[in-house]
Structure 1
Amino acid sequence: MQPNDQIPHNDVLDPAQLKRIESVHKGFLYQHLYAVGCLLLAQSSGVREVLVERDEDVELNTEAGHVYVQVKTRSKPIMPVDVSGALERFEILRQEHKDGRRPGAAQFVIVANQVLGETLRSEVDEQKASIDLIYLSAGSSALRPACLPPAWTSLEEAAQWCTAEAEKLNFSLLSPSSLTWKMAGLVMLACAAGGGNARHVFHTSELPGLFEQLVVQLQDFPTPPLSYRPQKNEPELTSAERVRIICGLSGAGKTTWAAHAALHSPEPCAYYDVGDLPGPALASSIVRELASKYMKRDSDGIRKILLPGASGYEAIRAFDRFLEQAEAPLIVVVDNAHRVPVTNIRDLLNATRHIRFILLCQPHENVRELEAVMGLRREILQGWDLDTVAQVASGAGAYGSPQALQQLRAYTGGLPLYVDSAIAIAKADYDGNIETLCADLALQANVAETAQEIILARVYEGYDAVTQNALAVVSLADTGLTQEEVVRLLQTTLKLSPGGAAAVIKKIQATGTVEVFGAKTLKVHDAVRALGLRHLELMGEPAVTAALLTLKELLIQGMEKNRDTSRIALLIQVFIKLNDVEPLIELAGEETFYEMGILVDVASSLASAVSSGSLDPGQTFWALDGLVFSLMRDSRYDEASSHLSTMAQILDAHGFEFREHLSLAMKKILFAAYLGHEKDVRREVESAAPKIPDSIHRRIFDYNHAFALWKLKRYKAAELLCKAVMDGYYGILGLEPKDVLGKNPDVLWKVIKRSDDVSEDIKHLADSLDLYAKILNAQGRKSGFSRIHAMKFYNMVNAYDSFVRLGQDAAEEFAEAGEYVGAREILEQQVLRVVSEMGLMGRMVQVRGQYAEILALCKDYAGAVSEIERLQHYLHGLEKDEAKELLNQIGNIVGIMRKGIHG
């Protein structure tokens, strides 16, 4: 099969290679933690030195001699081939000691996270192994030297053991977990001969000082939460850049990110909150703090740096040189750096060349100026992803559908403080129902204030009136607008000149609450939009209406000019807010908008309009037609019955043209097929068929007839009729099935015949291919290329929902044929990409549950379990059928794993 597009950025070229890489790094981390365990035991067990990554993974120098440790992590029992290389090196080292080239006795140890295989177990039980060789394996009963930790089965067990051992050290103010991970970082640095440690050695006599240094470093940072949750695409603390700006709104988790990252940094880190410190005092305050902490044992060095009369910049320059000469790295995290005048920050940075700085800032004009004068570019914390929001909600006892959780993430920007606050309110005031909270937030009706509102309200109120009003108007758009569109929107709503509107855009950009995409596309940050919309209501109905009408005009013009459908959801929202029912009626029957997974309540607006009695008979008919279309598309046939009756009554009373009669006839055919009433289907077909005026409507009618026959299990008749429809559309497009083989959508666009209705013809061909595949499968036959070709055509016309559904069907067909790798490729390279990029929340859990099942069939059990663990947090917010399907998928995965593990 030919992939449709490039592999998405959040997937990998070779999942198997990724798995191998992960296994390698897990092995290294296990080894580093084992070395940490040795360091924690060193003082009490008479070890003089602990060496890492020299002749062996870990070496212990004791009074009696040398202990050589080889660490093995495997997924299966340890076999002779796993240790053969280590035994050969042990023999060379053994000879070195015998010949006197190495002093003392030699002890050799193989540590393994798995049990010994049958062959090695027999050697140990029968005492065939060398007397100076010990195997420490998972669950081993072998006598363990006091200087060595046990063999752990997993990284989690390793971390727990080291943490428990670290608790015995006399540093009550420091988290044992923090000390463990910091030491693991130092071990990793020593393995690479970093920090001037060419011998890869830790001297036991220096460990108390080392522990004390770690305590000094880590206690400076605010304590991160015990269950820290990373943000989306979170940046690393260490970087090749000497100066970095991490920028985010208050509550974005900048300080927590830095504090948590410092725990795992192999390099020393310092934290300094400038708060309300006067700018001129910045350099002198920081250098005094740093010098007193990092040069405690070198009082002469401190005196040279902190000379009486020396300026702060001279002192920081001297301290920087001192660290550079000592080859001592240092990362300084400066919190609230946006409060300091740019001149003072610039002078501090220019006075150093070795110390690396991370500036934690809120959006502010100072940040923009600093970027300009220093040639820097800010990094943004992107907030928690949807899985993390679901996990936090589930952990707090709140629940919501994937759509509601995504809505909550949009309202809060995913920023940790705001998510936590909103979930707490959902729990306290809405019985944990996030859906209800989001509905109130959309109407600005929530009574309890979130932390987001309290914090950002202060920021918002600090802006001048023009900036507040401009942000409010631009907040109407939940997607990017071009700078020209924003100018027109501000001109019309705020009665500004073009120059005045351009000046206001600069002002709102300076607040840092406006995201800029590319060169000219602007959007108010999601976390601020709620406040902007609230302020817009206070500006009065005329201003709101003017803004909505202008936005509607801009969106329609943009779609006509660029044929960009990405902002259709916003346009429909505008129609609803303006109570503009007529375009909603026209859109309701268009499949395109359902295909795009637009999550707006068009149906409720149409239902309200019908109930109001304000529509004429024609409008009422097509509004009901749109409602029936929506219900049938979601297989909610029972709810469609009363609407069909009303539509029939309108036709009886007013007649209308063939379009209305044909539309009702096709829906009645589908409804009768759903009920299994074959006679009713035949009667409707015989009544409507002679009235069809042309081949265009004939093909559409025949497709619906074929669909009904498939529902009625009349497979042969359905196959013949569907094949004729397919051939008709192939002919219109100037294609034959063989022309589609091996071609991606971009190539197909170049070879098809174009007409005014080309997109509709492509969509109808894809629908026919989809139905044809179902008919073949129902007869126990393979679908061939029907589904693959249908996916290409759906892709061409942005029929995303059908594309995903069909991709799932194709993956299922591959899996049933035992072609698990092919099924995985379809989901990874195509389906999951579209679900993510197009935000199809309604299909997200189902698709990922299927993907987890395919992973299990591919024997990637760890990947399957990991995916299901993330999906379980959505369980309580799913509809009954969706929850049942997910639980079935979990049960299937358990069964697959049991069968795979136990044969």
Structure 2
Amino acid sequence: METFNLDPRQLARIEAVHGGFLYQHLYAAACLFRASRVGLTRVVVENDEDVELVRHDERIYAQIKKRSANLIFSDIEDALERFVAIRAEHVEGRRQGACRFAIVSNSAPGPDLSKRLTSSDWPSDVMLLYPESATTDVVLPQPLVTIEGIFEDCRAAAENLPFSVLAPETLVWKLVGRVMAASGGVEPNPNHAFAVADLPSLFEQLVIQLQDFPAPPLRYRPQVSEPSLTGKQRVRLIVGFSGAGKTSWVSQTALHATDRLAYYDVVDISGPALASAIARELAARMYGARGGKLGEILLPGASGTEILFAIGCHLAEDQLTATVVLDNAHRVPSADLVSLVGASEQLRFVLLAQPGQSVARIEATVGIKAEPLVGWSNETAAAEGAAVGCRGSYADYERLLQLTGGLPLYVQNALKIASESYDGDLSRLVDALEERTHVVETAQELILVDIFDALNDTARQVIAALSLSDVPLTQTEAAGVLKRSFDLEPAATAAAFRRLRSSGAIQIFGVDRFKIHDAMRPLGRAYLDESGGEHLHKAREAIRDLLIATLPQENDRQRVFLLLRMFVALGNIKPLVEMATDELFHELGYMDEIAEFLTAAAQSEEVSAEDRFWALDGLVFAHFKAGDEACIEEKLDRMEELVRKKKLGLQERLAVGMKRMVFAARAQDATTVRAIMRDLSRVLPQTPQYLRIARYNYAHAMYELGLMNECVTITLDLVSEYYGVLGLTINDVMAQNPDKIYSLLKDGEDHTDDLKHLADALDLQSKAVKAMGNFPGLGPIHAMKFYSMAQSLDSFVRVGQELVDDFIGRNDYIGARDVIERNLMPTIVGLKLAGQIIPVRSKYAVVLAYCGEIDEAEAEMARLLPYESGLDEQGQLELQAQRALIAYLRENPPPPQWEMPLKLSDHQNKP
């Protein structure tokens, strides 16, 4: 899932309802495909029953059910009551012919319903059809388990119709669209009925509507929030670069539209001739086989707009509309489009265009606003990558989307290159693209180079300098970067901004922020490289200084990432080392960005001993968090050697001592732990701040040694002290969200470190309590609150996942789901924590399974499958284990959901 729904349970209910309707419409389409062969005269949808099949001497009433579990009696009880009323209508002569009834289900009946079916009081004229049922009927199609299955059945039936110019799946979707419209009483079937005698002309009409559309891709993948073909606006403008998938989108969405449709590529039609050319073709297509109507429309000497007006009048008589798709509309003068689209209210228009100044003129003259196609989601790109044999993590695909703008053609091309030239390793390809070392030219570069080359020098310089920034900047900020990079004056940059905005090379955010379109940034970066090292260096320095100056006011995660990249690119060691020693820096997940750089700095004799020490300290801290024990001891030895040989100070001695103590505890070396603590106690500054940190590290060592009572005793005191430092009481935190707690903190101080340390103490205390076999109470929940307030995101997610496991262990599956839906997933998605997406989503799938939603759990795991090959061995094993657990839970349901004791529940409900 690319964006997380605020209420997934509501989303699941919505999906189930619409999935049921789609199954029903497909089943009705299956009935239409076989209607003539089984002697039907009419097929009626959504009348007394879901589907009614009418023959000369009988009427069959069918209720369609789609269920994820076995069908039970309560699912069909209402239908059986309606059958009684309908049967009476036939018996008393108010309805002609015989009647019989059918329950059509995609799932087998449960034990109780199966027993009822064999009882003597089950109505003899009511049959139950399901995929494995022995009962069959020549008139009713046998139901299938899934929507995909019944669609394939319809597709096979459509394949036997004599319309070779049209793909059978296209005809199926068009017919389902007609069924859906008829179910709503919409023209041309307002009486909900399809006459079988009219079906050949209906099929032919659907074919004529679509035969001039470009063929949809064999494997179409939808874009993020892509628009529907028809909407409330009569005239719409869909915009995207070449490669954005406009033609694929329109050919695919046309399959599901119920309107009359026509497609024209207007690239070679001159503006003045546009209305006449389209009007005459449209008239011939829509009315060429309808007697004298074509002659009424194509009156001698009639202009294009007059013909379109006449077409509109006949559509109005039939209470219909038609949608005309104009591809390459940016090639047509906007004034000619105005006369075309204004000819009739019954004609709708969809204009497909590439960004440029012509789009701005169309927006202004026609009075519409462009709708961009924004590209694929991470999940869609991963599914495409898996289909062509690529391996990549969620973060790898995120980088690919940034490099390509997510535009389908560019993504597909890059994945093809990765598959063919990089052994399917997506990480290697995106590394090469980012570093400009790839040897195969991408389609993106070939297609967009013409747009880039058509720009003047100033506009190209703007794209080049700002291509280094993947975060939006204000116009003032961007102008400052351009002044230092290419000595461009504000007036020149403002003119370039206006031109680039109309060309689509700039993406606007909010009121006055923008960035270069991701698809254009690789071309800008190439131009910057070719401009010489001086301009590249100046641009990096300008962006670095801008970010340093604005971060106190703009403490945005993406800006911090960009600043880190500028530090690394410029070789600024000091600030990177300082950040590497900050716990919050690790908590925000930035360490991977600079680990290689810090490793090189720690080994360089050109770097000061103090900086080398702190670079090692940052790396050791990262290894502790990752559980990477193998690399710790060697680095601790090097740190101690630097302290000894270079005579470093107390801070360095304390830092290496604390980490050595925890490392010894993990090795179960209690003697060394106590010896280190004694040594540190002699030199430790006797200030509350230092003493609290030392006591926490000692408590951590006790936990590693398995001395849980000592750990709990120390952390209880620490928690109490930190509450006092922050000016809080336990009652201030109970049942309060972090935003409410913030207002209660002591004024005039930055409490970030204390909030983090309080959360650490609560977390460690909870672990020790659980290790002793006891319930930690609200400790983990309060730890999450304080981690959230301190922006300690890594620990926030870790504790949240552990809390989910705790809830499951107590059979409180609803509580586990609530933690993920309300806390973990919104945080991860909102802050784009790419490395956490897959672990949390896979855990969410397991929680869904515990909640009894096995189908939804398996569907979520299926969406994660394309990422599996891009994970390390541990990550792959974790996904496989979770998939196996979900399969086990399908066959072996978990214990019932924990219920709050009645007395406690009554107490909580009291005012």
Scaled to the shorter chain, the TM-score interval is over 0.9
Q: Contact 2:266–2:329 at 8 Å: present in 1 too? A: yes
Which residue of 439, 449, 452 corresponds with 2:444? 452
Partner of 2:461: 469
Q: Which shifted more, 367-376 or 42-51?
A: 367-376
Q: Deviations over 1:806-837 (max 9, x none)?
A: 11111111111111101101011110111212
Partner of 1:691: 683
Gaps of 5+ in 2: 897-911
Q: Contact 2:869–2:876 at 8 Å: present in 1 too? A: yes
Partner of 1:28: 21
Counterpart AA for 1:595: E
Identity %: 39
Is 1:602 the counterpart of 2:594? The answer is yes
Is 1:430 the counterpart of 2:399? The answer is no
Q: Partners of 1:708 and 1:573 in 2: how far apart?
A: 36
How do 1:670-749 and structure 2 match up within 5 A? 670-693=662-685, 694-749=687-742
Is 1:591 the counterpart of 2:583? The answer is yes
Is 1:413 the counterpart of 2:405? The answer is yes
Q: Deviations over 1:220-275 (max 9, x none)?
A: 22111232222222222231121222222211112111111111122222222112
Matched residue SS, 1:527: coil
Partner of 1:139: 132
How far is 1:518 from its partner?
0.1
Q: Deviations over 1:497-519 (max 9, x none)?
A: 22222222112212202111100
Matched residue SS, 2:805: helix
CA 1:746–1:128: 2 relative to 1, 3 Å:
closer
Partner of 1:804: 797
How far is 1:116 from its partner?
4.1
Q: Partners of 1:39 and 1:858 in 2: how far apart?
A: 39
Is 1:792 the counterpart of 2:808? The answer is no
Q: Partners of 2:122 and 2:657 in 1: how far apart?
A: 85
Q: Partners of 1:755 and 1:356 in 2: how far apart?
A: 62
Is 1:558 the counterpart of 2:518? The answer is no
Q: Contact 2:42–2:54 at 8 Å: present in 1 too? A: yes
Partner of 2:432: 440
Which residue of 314, 322, 346 corresponds with 1:322? 314
Is 1:570 the counterpart of 2:542? The answer is no
Q: Contact 2:260–2:322 at 8 Å: present in 1 too? A: yes
Q: Partners of 1:78 and 1:855 in 2: how far apart?
A: 21
Is 1:158 the counterpart of 2:150? The answer is yes
Partner of 1:821: 814
Q: Partners of 1:878 and 1:683 in 2: how far apart?
A: 41
CA 1:575–1:141: 2 relative to 1, 3 Å:
same
Q: Contact 1:606–1:627 at 8 Å: present in 2 too? A: yes
How far is 1:591 from its partner?
2.2
CA 1:762–1:373: 2 relative to 1, 3 Å:
farther
Partner of 2:215: 223
Matched residue SS, 2:477: helix
How far is 1:118 from its partner?
5.4
Q: Partners of 1:121 and 1:811 in 2: how far apart?
A: 38
Partner of 2:478: 486
Q: Partners of 2:662 and 2:443 in 1: how far apart?
A: 51
Partner of 2:899: none
Q: Which shifted more, 674-683 or 530-539?
A: 674-683
Q: Contact 2:2–2:377 at 8 Å: present in 1 too? A: no
Q: Which shifted more, 513-522 or 684-693?
A: 684-693
Is 1:103 the counterpart of 2:96? The answer is yes
Which residue of 21, 28, 32 corresponds with 1:39? 32
Counterpart AA for 2:461: N
Matched residue SS, 2:552: helix
Q: Contact 1:181–1:263 at 8 Å: present in 2 too? A: yes
Matched residue SS, 1:108: strand
How do 1:368-387 and structure 2 match up within 5 A? 368-387=360-379
Which residue of 821, 839, 847 corresponds with 2:840? 847
Partner of 2:571: 579
Q: Partners of 2:116 and 2:473 in 1: how far apart?
A: 73
How far is 1:895 from its partner?
1.6
Partner of 2:189: 197
How many residues were matched structurally? 895
Q: Partners of 2:92 and 2:874 in 1: how far apart?
A: 74
How far is 1:733 from its partner?
0.6
Q: Contact 1:282–1:344 at 8 Å: present in 2 too? A: yes
How do 1:217-256 and structure 2 match up within 5 A? 217-256=209-248
Q: Contact 2:580–2:591 at 8 Å: present in 1 too? A: no
Q: Partners of 1:517 and 1:40 in 2: how far apart?
A: 50
How far is 1:121 from its partner?
4.8
CA 1:781–1:377: 2 relative to 1, 3 Å:
farther
Q: Contact 2:320–2:346 at 8 Å: present in 1 too? A: no
Q: Partners of 1:599 and 1:640 in 2: how far apart?
A: 16
Matched residue SS, 1:240: coil
Partner of 2:900: none
Counterpart AA for 2:347: I
Q: Which shifted more, 209-218 or 374-383?
A: 374-383
Which residue of 857, 882, 894 corresponds with 1:864? 857
Q: Contact 1:791–1:807 at 8 Å: present in 2 too? A: yes
Counterpart AA for 1:21: I
Q: Partners of 1:570 and 1:13 in 2: how far apart?
A: 29
Q: Contact 1:195–1:329 at 8 Å: present in 2 too? A: no
Q: Contact 2:51–2:62 at 8 Å: present in 1 too? A: yes
CA 1:624–1:511: 2 relative to 1, 3 Å:
same
Q: Contact 2:359–2:502 at 8 Å: present in 1 too? A: no
Q: Which shifted more, 72-81 or 320-329?
A: 72-81
Q: Partners of 1:11 and 1:588 in 2: how far apart?
A: 32
Partner of 2:534: 542
Q: Which shifted more, 46-55 or 801-810?
A: 46-55
Q: Contact 1:412–1:419 at 8 Å: present in 2 too? A: yes
CA 1:581–1:143: 2 relative to 1, 3 Å:
closer
CA 1:769–1:414: 2 relative to 1, 3 Å:
same
Q: Deviations over 1:23-73 (max 9, x none)?
A: 332222222122111211122222222111222222223222333323233
How far is 1:543 from its partner?
1.0
Partner of 2:901: none
CA 1:407–1:664: 2 relative to 1, 3 Å:
same
Q: Partners of 2:8 and 2:623 in 1: how far apart?
A: 39
Q: Which shifted more, 26-35 or 844-853?
A: 26-35
How far is 1:854 from its partner?
0.8
Is 1:517 the counterpart of 2:509? The answer is yes
How far is 1:702 from its partner?
1.6
Q: Which shifted more, 888-897 or 858-867?
A: 888-897
Q: Partners of 1:708 and 1:696 in 2: how far apart?
A: 19
Q: Deviations over 1:458-490 (max 9, x none)?
A: 221222222111111111101111111011112
Is 1:186 the counterpart of 2:178? The answer is yes
Partner of 1:898: 891
Q: Partners of 1:256 and 1:775 in 2: how far apart?
A: 57
Q: Contact 2:585–2:591 at 8 Å: present in 1 too? A: no
Matched residue SS, 1:848: helix
Q: Partners of 2:637 and 2:56 in 1: how far apart?
A: 95
CA 1:618–1:264: 2 relative to 1, 3 Å:
same
How far is 1:544 from its partner?
1.0
Q: CA RMSD in A?
A: 2.2
Q: Contact 1:596–1:799 at 8 Å: present in 2 too? A: yes
Q: Which shifted more, 631-640 or 559-568?
A: 559-568
Matched residue SS, 2:309: helix
Matched residue SS, 2:743: helix
Partner of 1:887: 880
Matched residue SS, 1:69: strand
Q: Which shifted more, 370-379 or 776-785?
A: 370-379
CA 1:299–1:494: 2 relative to 1, 3 Å:
farther
Is 1:833 the counterpart of 2:826? The answer is yes
Partner of 1:5: none
How far is 1:646 from its partner?
1.9
Q: Contact 2:602–2:613 at 8 Å: present in 1 too? A: no
